Amino acid sequence: MSGVTSTSPPSVDSPDLAALAGLLADRTRAAMCLALLDGRAWTATELARHTGVAPSTATGHLHRLVAGGLLAEERQGRHRYVRLAGPATAEMIESLASHAPLRATPVRSLRDAHRRRALAHARSCYDHLAGTVAVAITDAMTERALLAWDYGPGLTPAGRAWLRALGIADDHSGTGRAHVRSCLDWTERRHHLAGAVGAALLTHALDSGWAARRGTTRVIDLSDRGRVALREHLGLPDEVLLPPEDGG
C-alpha cells in the first residue's frame, strides 16, 4: 500500500489526444486556425466574418481555443486580439493540414480570385514565406548546396556562410525549435523552407525592403530590390519573381 500511494499519486499522465483534436475538429474553429496561420493577430469580429458565423458563436470558439492553449489573446480596449500561441502551435497545425484531405471550396468572387492568385504567389505562412516564390527559393538553395536533404533538411556550411553574408545571424540555439524545417505548401504541394531559418529569412526580407505585406493581408509583394536580390543571390527567373498577371 504505502509503497505506491503515499508519496506520489498512482495516476499516470497520458496525452489527451482527443481533447486537442477536438479543438480542431470543427469546421469553424479549423478555419479560424488556418486563417491565423498568417502569423498576425485577428480580432474576434474579423474571424467571425471570415468564418461566416455570428459574433456570439465566434466568442465561444475563441474561448475554447484559448483555454486549450492553441491561441493567445491580447485585450486592447474593446478589441480582443487573438493569435496562435507560438511557432510550435503553428507547426503542429501546418503538419496536420499537410496530411489532411483536400476539399473543393468555390471561388466566391472576382476579388476572391485575385486574392487567391496573389496568395499562391507569395504569402506569409506563420513566420516564414510560402507560395511559388518560397518553393523556388528552397529549390535554388538546394541546387546551390546551401541546403542539404540527405539526412533530413539541414543547412550546409556554405548555407551558414551564405546567411551570414546576408547579415542573418545563425544563432538560434536558444529558441529550442528546429532551425531548418520543411513545410508542405498547400498551393504548390511542394516543400519550402520553414523553422527558425525560414523565419529569419522572411524577417530579413521585410526589414531590408525586399518585400512588404500587402495591407493587413497575408499577401507578400516583392519589391524591385527584392527581385534583383533574389535574381543575383539565387538565380531565380523572372517568371517566378514577377507578380501574377490578372489576365492569366
- Applying the rule CB under 8 A, the residues between 174 and 203 that interact with a second copy are 178-181, 186-187, 195, 197
Of residues 25-84, those binding DNA (CB under 7 A)? 25-28, 43-46, 48, 52-64, 76-81
State in angstroms the smallest separation of the CB of 28 from DNA: 4
* Interface pick for a second copy out of 152, 209, 235, 243 (rule CB under 8 A): 152
Q: Which three cell numbers stand for residue 212?
A: 512588404
Length of the chain measured in residues: 248
Nearer to DNA, 3 or 75 (CB): 75
Separation of alpha carbons 85 and 225, rounded Å: 33
Q: Is 114 in the site for DNA (CB under 7 A)?
A: no
Q: Segment 59-118, which members bind a second copy (CB under 8 A)?
A: 68-69, 88-89, 92-93, 95-107, 113, 116-117
Question: Are 197 and 164 in contact, with CB atoms under 8 Å apart?
Answer: no
35 binds a second copy (CB under 8 A): no
Please compute, for residue 31, the number of CA atoms within 13 A of its CA located in the half-sphere on the CB side: 14
Give the SS3 label for residue 208.
Answer: coil
In terms of CB distance, is 24 or 129 closer to DNA?
Answer: 24
Asked if residue 159 lies in contact with residue 137, where contact means CB atoms within 8 angstroms, the answer is no
Helices 27-36 and 55-67: crossing angle, nearest 10°?
70
Which stretch, 27-35, 45-53, 76-84, 216-224, contacts a second copy (CB under 8 A)?
27-35
Distances from the Cα of 172 to the Cαs of 137, 167, 180, 185, 199, in angstroms?
21, 14, 10, 24, 11
Residue type at 230?
L
Shortest reach from residue 17's CB to DNA, in Å: 14
- Residue type at position 45: T
Distance CA 246, CA 113 (A): 9
Segment lying near a second copy (by CB under 8 A), choices 29-37, 53-61, 75-83, 211-219 = 29-37
Number of residues that bind a second copy (CB under 8 A): 72
- Report the C-alpha gap between 186 and 207 in whole angstroms: 26
Chain centroid to Cα 24, Å, comes to 17
Q: Smaller CB distance to a second copy: residue 116 or 144?
A: 116
By a kind-dependent CB cut-off of 5 to 8 A, residue 180 interacts, out of DNA, a second copy, none, with a second copy
H helix or E strand, kind and range, residue 226: helix 224-234
Cβ distance to DNA smaller for residue 52 or 237: 52
**Closer of 26 and 207 to DNA (Cβ):** 26
Which residue's CB is nearer to DNA, number 47 or number 222? 47
Binding site for DNA (CB under 7 A): 22, 25-28, 43-46, 48, 52-64, 76-81
